[in-house]
């Protein structure tokens, strides 16, 4: 038994097709089938039900595949540890980032990261907080950028920046003429929000609660860009994080809050057991230097 055979088995389990599994592993189908037969003979059990219509795993096959995935993850980690020892600031680095941050932050931070860490190969994964935090916990990501605090054990969080919210309204909206807005100005107002699953929705709901505003339940957006188009069409108002604002936007007015400024804190989070602490601290430093917002950077416990 070797790691190659385990990779073949996992590929068949994921694709449920010998031909596609062989293609994904860059081998011929007869080679893959032969090696899997040898694996079954070595283990003394049948792992795969074979028929002309479909490929199914046996009950013991399901258990072996789960263990094979763990073995392959551990073997990848061994290779990664060796690479990191040779170059702690190089090699592959898997970074998760939430959708309400990614489009507006990456263009600012990737160029300086590439300049400062030219040997680092960043693999980006964009997904909601629950998805990237689970991937971090399971070791499929090295770090994540998201809104703090993150309710997870055994992680370390570095604050990157504090980002204020602005009230976004159409030029046709009655509030457009305001130079600033207070929480009381939103009392009973209906605010457009993102759909469930986005942490930005939860943050906006908290602002609405404090201001006695309510959610506009006629529509839930899938992205900040959808919210922007809805506001532009004078279909409602919303809260917009500062980095997502368009400076040249002609159809939306962004009004600052005063005197109290609602905001969110964005951080870089990694596992306490990570072997790449020096790299992660360097990344946090580069990002902090690259991102400027109108709020001073505070570093609350996260």
pLDDT at residue 271 tops 50:
yes
Q: Where in the chain is the domain with CATH 3.40.190.290?
A: 88-302
> How do beta strands 214-221 and 190-194 pair?
parallel
pLDDT (0 to 100) of residue 297: 66
Top-level class of domain 88-302: alpha beta
pLDDT at residue 87 tops 90:
no
pLDDT (0 to 100) of residue 298: 54
Mean residue pLDDT across the chain: 90
Q: Where in the chain is the domain with CATH 1.10.10.10?
A: 3-84
Check: CB of residue 123 under 8 Å from CB of residue 140.
no
pLDDT (0 to 100) of residue 84: 67
pLDDT (0 to 100) of residue 246: 82
Residues 51-71 pLDDT 10s: 777 889 999 999 999 999 999
C-alpha distance across the termini of the chain, in Å: 45
Check: CB of residue 142 under 8 Å from CB of residue 276.
yes
How many Å apart are CA 281 and CA 122, to the nearest integer?
15
pLDDT at residue 37 tops 80:
yes
Q: Is 78 left (phi over 0), alpha (psi -120 to 50) or beta?
A: alpha
- Whether the model clears a pTM of 0.75, i.e. scores above it, the answer is no
> What's the CA dihedral at 112, 113, 116, 119 to 10 degrees?
-140
Residues 110-160 pLDDT 10s: 999 999 999 899 999 999 999 999 999 988 999 999 999 888 889 999 999
Residues 218-246 pLDDT 10s: 888 989 999 999 999 999 999 999 999 98
What CATH topology corresponds to 3-84?
Arc Repressor Mutant, subunit A (1.10.10)
Check: CB of residue 75 under 8 Å from CB of residue 139.
no
Nearby residues of 198 by Cβ (< 8 Å), 6 or more positions away: 98, 99, 100, 128, 129
Residue 9 CA, chain-centre distance (Å), reads 29
In the chain, % of residues over pLDDT 90: 67
How many Å apart are CA 117 and CA 279, to the nearest integer?
9
How many Å apart are CA 302 and CA 261, to the nearest integer?
20
């Amino acid at each position: 038994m070797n790691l190659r055979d385990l990779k073949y088995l996992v590929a068949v389990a994921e694709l449920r097709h010998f031909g596609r599994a062989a293609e994904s592993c860059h081998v011929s189908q007869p080679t893959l089938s032969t090696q899997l037969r040898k694996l079954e003979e070595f283990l003394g059990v049948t792992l795969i039900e074979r028929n002309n219509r479909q490929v199914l795993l046996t009950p013991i096959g399901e258990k072996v595949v789960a263990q094979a995935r763990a073995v392959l993850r551990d073997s990848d980690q061994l290779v990664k540890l060796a690479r990191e020892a040779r170059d702690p600031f190089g090699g592959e680095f898997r970074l998760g980032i939430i959708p309400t941050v990614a489009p507006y932050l990456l263009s600012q931070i990737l160029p300086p990261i590439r300049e400062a860490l030219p040997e680092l190969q960043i693999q980006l994964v964009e997904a909601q907080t629950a998805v990237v935090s689970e991937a971090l916990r399971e070791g499929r990501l090295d770090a994540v950028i998201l809104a703090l605090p993150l309710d997870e054990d055994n992680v370390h969080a570095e604050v990157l920046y504090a980002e204020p919210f602005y009230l976004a309204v159409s030029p046709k909206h009655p509030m457009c003429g305001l130079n600033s807005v207070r929480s009381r100005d939103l009392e009973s107002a209906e605010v457009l929000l993102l759909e469930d699953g986005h942490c930005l929705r939860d943050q906006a709901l908290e602002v609405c609660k404090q201001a006695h505003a309510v959610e506009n339940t006629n529509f839930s957006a899938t992205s900040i860009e959808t919210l922007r188009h809805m506001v532009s069409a004078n279909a409602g108002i919303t809260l917009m994080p500062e980095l997502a604002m368009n400076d040249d936007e002609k159809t939306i007015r962004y009004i600052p809050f005063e005197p109290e400024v609602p905001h969110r804190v964005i951080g870089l989070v990694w596992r306490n057991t990570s072997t790449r602490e020096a790299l992660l601290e360097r990344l946090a430093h580069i990002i902090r230097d690259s991102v400027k917002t109108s709020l001073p950077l505070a570093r609350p416990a996260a």
